[in-house]
Every structure is written in structure tokens, then in C-alpha cells.
């Protein structure tokens, strides 16, 4: 019963919004007013508690999600402050997967911005209850009511104002609580004390109108409030709050507040709203897992007496304790020293430490229970999305899906001594970030790193230098062109050497034929009468394969070609495998020059989803990239899906350009499609740069 009461007074929330809407500033105020810190950090000063990475301090943006815990009015609030930049959307995705509620911050000037829409869609996918605070009411151009309208139009949200601002821009003074019908002011510089007063007379009529809309909205879904409304009775504040809570937990409405975190106004009512309108771990649907071997469904009830079920939602490298695995416990308890089972990789691990995190500082605890969000040390090879369970009650929870990387660059160590450390460091960064990948290009031999955007990869490079002490050069990957032929050609290759005793003799005639795109390479023996003995046939083919690995035009692999051995001769004494291999290579190169060779470039299948307003600009940009538009189709919400085939060579930097064209609202995906001939002019330019 004690544990149930504790769970009822627990809130697991995330702070999410578009970049520069004020997430970290709001979180800093929350920590100060709840007594978690004794000084408010400022993003602009580079000393915000939750932005602890050097890259975050320098750029004034949040890059990685940070967790902390605070207390308010007897409630425990676990908070995850998430990034707003689209390059780090993975941090939002994996945080939302384990949170029970979200505080969405909208800018009173910018309103519903591109990443606001992205975060909202992510929260919709997980069906997470939300409250909204319209921040920056002190800014020039602030318009609370326009933001409400944008929420309804662009997010499809049933936005319900439970506060309205007193003034705006430079004249923003405080807020009117529509439930208590009181004006709230913050008169001291730090905003620590909220002062309640009567509503100013010029604002009373507007406040009464908004309160009536609030009660009507509640009466629509709550019969007892409807009865009171038609009887001319005023519902009590507790009745209104209970009705709002019920609808908010069902995602039937979104309570909206307002304030200015930078000016220390409106944060305490936000904390009250978190307590009043966001769910406890007991009020979210139980998580459903499955038995790893039988796939039998398992209901993971939010109780400490149930078997353990916890999800690893983030992995981070800590310079002091090694790998930190952040987990959300959905059922059962996690004890220091306990052996747990990882269903995804079939590994047992012993929990060395359990840490309650406060940004990058930590507090050792002996026990974590259902509803807790903690970091643990000691998990072997755990990755994001893994499930921890008891050895005798194995269970796997649904993992987390992440978007595919959209931009790639080549990377190499500045010195050969750094090569091993670079590979090791990249592997560690990959284990932290599911949207970051590393591969070796089989054709160019380059290490290729891929991520969600140029800023994402820039941060990776910066972390390599600062955290892992590895200096690296980063640049665009080489485009993997290929070569082929356009007509048949025949040539003879004869290798004869006489050096004293045994000589060298090999003689072959080869015919090259073009094949359809995507066929690859074929070898065919068309000789008769044993003009080339069978024991030398592998040497002939080896000579051809060696030649096609680096074509004579620009040293790219040769594809879509059939090589036929049509004739040849041999010497009983002097013929050897080496001689026939060299003869075949000579014949191939001579015939290749007569077959009108061309270069093929990789072409990507690209799909762009853009709001209608930017369709023209997006198409013009694609055309400038030599795109072949395949189709266009309208999508719900006034958007267009544009499908095109575009040469890979023109797609570098496209992620940044697309955001610029669409104010960050368009997205795209890209995958390999085929190789196609380049024009003679481009072929000469490419060969000229080799």
C-alpha cells in the first residue's frame, strides 16, 4: 500500500519542443523552485545544469537528453530534458518511449514550429498525455491566442486554455488562473514567490468569457458539470481540475498555460499542472511484453511485487564508470548486485551500481522500483531497446524503432597511429546512438559515417577529439562510380618472354559483350579443340577479374559485361599460369579501349514529404540536382510526397538545403536505386579530377 501511494505521487515527464523554445531554461527554473539546485543556470551563459556537454555549452543548444529528479508538493517528478534540433530527434524518440507525460513548450512568438510538429507526432505515436506552456510571453510579437489557434489547426489538438496572460510583450505581468479565477503575479526578481490577487477590472470580462468556454468544454463530456452549468451553478475548482485530468489522461484535450521562464514567471503553476493533469505510473496502460522463446504475451503490471521488466532506453559512455545504461522500470524491482537477463542478446549481467542521475552528476542507491528512471552500471553489451528481466522470468518488451541516417561522410585518422583508436571510438559512439552508423566502403576502402544531419556528424567529430582524444579528417565520401562498355570488341593478348632456360608463353583472344544494367560480370569459354589447356583456364579468369576491378577509364570497377575466351595457343614447355593471367589482362585492356567504355553513376531513389507551400521550391532544387521526378501525390494535412531518381553525387548537403527551403518542415528518405550512364561532358570532368 505504501508503494502504491508513492507511485500515485510519481510523475515521469519529458520537456520537449522546437529548438530555442525555452526547454532548458524552463527546466532550470523547475529545478530551482523545487530546491534541486540553489542557483538558476542560464543557457546563454553556458552554465545550465542540464546542458553539461562542452558542445552544448558552446552552442547554446541541447544535444543529449538529460535526466533528473525533483520534489514538488509531496510529489516526485522524474524529468528528461530533450533536444529540440531535428538532428537529435533520436533523443526525443527514446525518451518518449519511457515517459508517462510530456510538457510541450511553444514559443509565444514562433508558435507551432517544425520540430514542435515532429515532437507532437512522436507523442501521438506513443499516445502520451500532454500539457502545453506558451513560453516567452515577454517577447515582442508574443500572441497567446494565436498559438492556441495554431495548436488546433496544425497539431489537431483540442487545446484548452486554463490560464490567460495579463498583458503581453514588455507589458506581460502575470497570468489569470481560470480555474481559481485569481490573478497571479511574480514580484521578486527570482520569481520564487507567487502572489495571488483579484483579477484586474479591465481583464475581468475576458477572464469570465474564457472560464465559461472552459466549463462548457468540460460539461460536454462530464454530465454532472453539465447539470450544474444549466442550473446556473458554478462547479468548484476541484471538480474542474478532476474533469480536466480525466480528459487529459485520455488525450481528449490538452491543458494550455502561459508564462516567461526567462523572466521567472509562470513556472510554479506549470509544476502544479504536472501534478494535477499528467499521469502516475499507475494510470498508464500496463506494458505488454512477450516470452523470448514462445512469444507468449506477458502483462507487466506496475507493481514492485511483480517480476522485473525494465527497458534500456539510452546508453552513454561515462569517463569514470564506463558504460551507463538508462532504464525505466515497468514492473518489479532492481537491486544492486542483482543478476538480470537481457532477452535481446541472451546475456546475463550483474548490476554493479544503480545511480539516480542529475544531469551528469549521480547518486548511488541500493534499490530502484517500478516507475523509477535510473542509470545502471554493469550491463554487458546492452544497447538501446534491450529489456532487463529476472533470470527465472525472462521477458522482452517491444523495442524502439529509429529513423535511418540520411547523410554520410568519409572519415579518416589524421595519423596512422590513431587508426585503431578511431575505429574503437566510433564503435563506442555507435553503441550510444542508434541513428549513427559506421561502415567500410568495399569499393573505395573509406570509413563512412552516417547520421541525421551535418550538425549531428559535426558533434561526432568534436566528441572524437574531446572525449576520445582522436583527431580525424572528415569529408564527403567518394562517389562509387562504375564503368561498363557500350558495344562488343575483340582483342588478342600474347605474353612471351625468353630468359635462358624456361620461358613464358600465354596467348588468348577475348571478346567483350555488354550486358543489361545490374547483371554484373560473366565469363564464358568458347574455345574448341583445347587451344587453351583446361589447367590454365582459372589463370585466364583471374587475369580478367583483376583487370575489371579497376577499369582503364578511371580505375572504377567494370560491371555489366560478358567476357568470352574465343581462341588462344600454348607452348608445351614455356606456358604457365602467370603467362596466361598476364595475357588475359592484356587482351581485356586492349578490347576494352575499343568497346566505347562509359562511366556509370549511382542513382538514388529519393522521397521528399513537404508542405504544399514549399513544393515548387523543392522541385526546382531537385531539378537543379539532375533529378528525374517519378511521381507526386497529395498527403493528408496539405502536404505532398515527391518521388524522384537523383544522382548521389548531387545529394551531399541536401539535408541542410531542404530544411532551408522549407523552414525545417520537409523531410526526405533516400536509398540506392541503380547505376546510370553519365554524360560525356560529366565523364570528362570526373576523369579530369581523378
Query: DSSP of 375-396, one letter per residue?
Result: EEE--SS--TT-EEEETTB--E
Partners of 497 in the beta sheet?
504
Look up cell 546512438; give the residue. Answer: 433
**What distance in Å separates the CA atoms of residue 545 and residue 542, rounded to the nearest whole number?**
5
Contact 559, 600 (CB under 8 A): yes
**What distance in Å separates the CA atoms of residue 129 and residue 254, rounded to the nearest whole number?**
8
For residue 1, the model assigns a pLDDT of 46
**Three-state DSSP class for residue 69:** strand
Beta pairing class for 628-635 and 254-258: unpaired
Beta pairing class for 101-107 and 10-17: parallel
Contact 285, 302 (CB under 8 A): no
**Mean pLDDT for back-to-back runs of 10 residues, the chain (690 residues):** 70 85 86 81 53 51 70 90 66 81 91 79 88 94 92 91 93 94 91 91 93 89 85 89 94 95 94 95 89 88 90 80 85 92 88 82 86 86 87 87 72 83 87 83 74 77 83 74 91 84 87 89 90 91 90 85 93 89 93 91 85 93 94 78 88 84 81 82 75
CA dihedral angle for residue 317, residue 318, residue 320, residue 323, rounded to 10 degrees:
-50
Look up cell 531539378; give the residue. Answer: 623
**What distance in Å separates the CA atoms of residue 164 and residue 187, rounded to the nearest whole number?**
18
DSSP per-residue letters across 278-346? S--GGGSPPEEEE-TTT--EEEE-S-TTSPPEEEEEEEEEETTTEEEEEEEEEESEEETT-EEEETTTT
Tell me whether residue 290 is exposed, middle or buried, using C-beta atoms within 10 angstroms of its C-beta: 0 to 12, 13 to 18, 19 or more.
middle
- How far apart, in Å, are the Cα atoms of 304 and each of 149, 278, 301, 330, 339? 43, 22, 9, 9, 17
Question: What are the φ and ψ backbone dihedral angles of 474, each rounded to 5 degrees?
Answer: -125, 135
Report H helices in 139-222.
144-154, 201-219
**What distance in Å separates the CA atoms of residue 554 and residue 549, rounded to the nearest whole number?**
11
Nearest CA to 102 out of 226, 189, 13 is that of: 13
The separation between CA 74 and the C-alpha centre of its own chain, rounded to angstroms, equals 35
**What distance in Å separates the CA atoms of residue 387 and residue 311, rounded to the nearest whole number?**
5
**Three-state DSSP class for residue 597:** coil
Contact 318, 171 (CB under 8 A): no
CA atoms 333, 335, 339, 341: torsion sign = positive
- C-alpha cell of residue 219: 460539461
**What distance in Å separates the CA atoms of residue 310 and residue 300, rounded to the nearest whole number?**
10
CA dihedral angle for residue 543, residue 545, residue 547, residue 548, rounded to 10 degrees:
160
Beta pairing class for 396-397 and 373-377: unpaired
Contact 642, 619 (CB under 8 A): yes
Half-sphere exposure of 100 (CA within 13 A, CB side): 31
Those residues whose C-beta lies under 8 Å from the C-beta of residue 169, and which sit 6 or more positions away, are: 137, 138, 139, 140, 141, 142
DSSP per-residue letters across 237-252? HHHHHHHHHHHHHTTS
- C-alpha cell of residue 79: 524529468
Give the number of other Cβ atoms within 10 Å of residue 427's Cβ. 10
For residue 671, the model assigns a pLDDT of 67
**What distance in Å separates the CA atoms of residue 310 and residue 449, rounded to the nearest whole number?**
31
Nearest CA to 43 out of 64, 59, 32 is that of: 59
Nearest CA to 179 out of 160, 195, 152, 193 is that of: 160
Contact 575, 536 (CB under 8 A): yes
**What distance in Å separates the CA atoms of residue 264 and residue 32, rounded to the nearest whole number?**
10
Consecutive H or E run containing 514: strand 504-514
**Three-state DSSP class for residue 23:** helix
Look up cell 564527403; give the residue. Answer: 476
Contact 94, 314 (CB under 8 A): yes
Question: What are the φ and ψ backbone dihedral angles of 282, each rounded to 5 degrees?
Answer: -80, -15
Query: Is the model's pTM score more than 0.75?
Result: no
Amino acid at each position: 500500500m505504501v508503494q502504491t501511494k508513492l507511485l500515485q505521487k510519481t510523475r515521469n515527464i519529458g520537456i520537449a519542443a522546437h529548438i530555442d523554445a525555452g526547454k532548458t531554461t524552463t527546466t532550470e527554473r523547475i529545478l530551482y523552485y523545487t530546491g534541486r539546485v540553489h542557483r538558476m543556470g542560464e543557457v546563454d551563459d553556458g552554465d545550465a545544469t542540464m546542458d553539461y556537454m562542452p558542445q552544448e555549452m558552446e552552442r547554446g543548444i541541447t544535444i543529449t537528453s538529460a535526466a533528473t529528479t525533483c520534489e514538488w508538493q509531496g510529489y516526485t517528478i522524474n524529468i528528461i530534458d530533450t533536444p529540440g534540433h531535428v538532428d537529435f530527434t533520436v533523443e526525443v524518440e527514446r525518451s518518449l518511449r519511457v515517459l508517462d507525460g510530456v510538457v510541450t513548450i511553444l514559443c509565444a512568438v514562433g508558435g507551432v514550429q517544425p520540430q514542435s510538429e515532429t515532437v507532437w507526432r512522436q507523442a501521438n505515436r506513443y499516445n502520451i498525455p500532454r500539457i502545453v506552456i506558451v513560453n516567452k510571453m515577454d517577447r515582442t510579437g508574443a500572441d497567446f491566442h494565436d498559438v492556441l489557434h495554431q495548436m488546433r489547426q496544425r497539431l489537431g489538438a483540442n487545446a484548452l486554455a486554463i490560464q490567460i496572460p495579463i498583458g503581453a510583450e514588455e507589458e506581460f505581468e502575470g497570468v489569470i488562473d481560470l480555474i481559481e479565477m485569481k490573478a497571479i503575479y511574480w514580484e521578486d526578481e527570482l520569481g520564487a514567490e507567487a502572489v495571488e490577487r483579484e483579477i484586474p477590472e479591465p481583464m475581468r470580462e475576458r477572464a469570465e468569457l474564457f472560464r465559461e468556454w472552459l466549463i462548457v468544454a468540460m460539461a460536454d463530456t462530464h454530465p454532472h458539470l453539465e447539470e450544474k452549468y444549466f442550473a446556473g451553478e458554478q462547479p468548484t475548482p476541484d471538480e474542474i481540475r478532476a474533469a480536466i485530468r480525466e480528459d487529459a489522461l485520455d488525450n481528449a484535450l490538452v491543458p494550455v498555460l502561459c508564462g516567461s521562464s526567462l523572466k521567472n514567471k509562470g513556472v510554479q503553476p506549470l509544476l502544479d499542472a504536472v501534478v494535477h493533469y499528467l499521469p502516475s505510473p499507475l494510470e498508464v496502460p500496463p506494458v505488454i511484453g512477450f516470452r523470448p522463446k514462445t512469444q507468449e504475451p506477458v502483462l507487466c503490471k506496475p507493481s514492485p511485487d511483480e517480476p522485473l521488466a525494465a527497458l534500456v532506453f539510452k546508453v552513454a559512455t561515462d569517463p569514470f564508470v564506463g558504460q551507463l545504461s538508462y532504464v525505466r522500470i515497468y514492473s518489479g524491482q532492481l537491486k544492486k548486485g542483482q543478476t538480470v537477463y537481457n532477452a535481446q542478446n541472451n546475456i546475463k549481467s550483474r548490476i554493479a551500481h544503480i545511480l539516480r542521475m542529475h544531469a551528469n552528476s549521480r547518486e548511488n542507491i541500493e534499490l530502484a522500483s517500478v516507475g523509477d528512471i535510473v542509470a545502471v552500471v554493469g550491463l554487458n553489451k546492452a544497447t538501446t531497446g534491450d529489456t532487463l528481466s529476472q533470470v527465472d522470468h525472462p521477458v522482452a518488451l517491444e523495442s524502439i524503432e529509429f529513423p535511418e541516417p540520411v547523410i554520410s561522410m568519409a572519415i579518416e585518422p589524421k595519423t596512422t597511429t590513431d587508426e585503431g583508436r578511431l575505429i574503437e571510438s566510433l564503435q563506442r559512439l555507435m553503441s550510444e546512438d542508434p541513428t549513427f552508423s559506421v561502415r567500410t566502403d568495399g569499393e573505395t576502402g573509406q570509413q563512412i559515417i552516417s547520421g541525421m544531419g551535418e550538425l549531428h556528424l559535426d558533434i561526432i567529430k568534436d566528441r572524437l577529439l574531446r572525449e576520445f582524444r582522436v583527431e580525424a579528417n572528415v569529408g564527403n565520401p567518394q562517389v562509387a562510380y562504375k564503368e561498363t562498355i557500350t558495344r562488343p570488341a575483340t582483342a588478342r593478348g600474347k605474353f612471351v618472354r625468353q630468359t635462358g632456360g624456361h620461358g613464358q608463353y600465354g596467348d588468348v583472344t577475348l571478346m567483350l559483350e555488354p550486358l543489361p544494367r545490374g547483371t554484373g560480370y560473366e565469363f564464358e569459354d568458347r574455345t574448341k579443340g583445347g587451344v587453351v589447356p583446361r589447367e590454365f583456364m582459372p589463370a585466364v579468369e583471374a587475369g580478367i577479374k583483376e583487370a575489371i576491378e579497376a577499369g582503364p577509364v578511371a580505375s572504377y570497377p567494370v560491371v555489366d559485361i560478358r567476357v568470352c575466351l574465343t581462341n588462344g595457343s600454348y607452348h608445351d614447355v614455356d606456358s604457365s599460369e602467370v603467362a596466361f593471367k598476364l595475357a588475359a589482362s592484356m587482351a581485356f585492356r586492349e578490347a576494352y579501349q575499343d568497346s566505347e567504355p562509359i562511366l556509370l553513376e549511382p542513382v538514388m531513389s529519393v522521397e521528399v514529404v513537404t508542405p504544399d507551400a514549399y513544393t515548387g521550391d523543392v522541385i526546382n532544387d531537385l531539378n537543379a540536382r539532375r533529378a528525374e521526378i517519378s511521381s507526386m501525390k497529395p498527403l493528408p494535412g496539405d502536404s505532398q510526397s515527391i518521388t524522384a531518381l537523383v544522382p548521389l553525387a548531387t545529394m551531399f548537403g541536401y539535408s541542410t538545403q531542404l530544411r532551408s527551403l522549407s523552414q525545417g518542415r520537409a523531410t526526405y528518405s533516400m536509398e540506392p536505386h541503380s547505376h546510370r550512364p553519365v554524360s560525356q561532358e560529366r565523364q570528362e570532368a570526373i576523369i579530369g579530377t581523378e
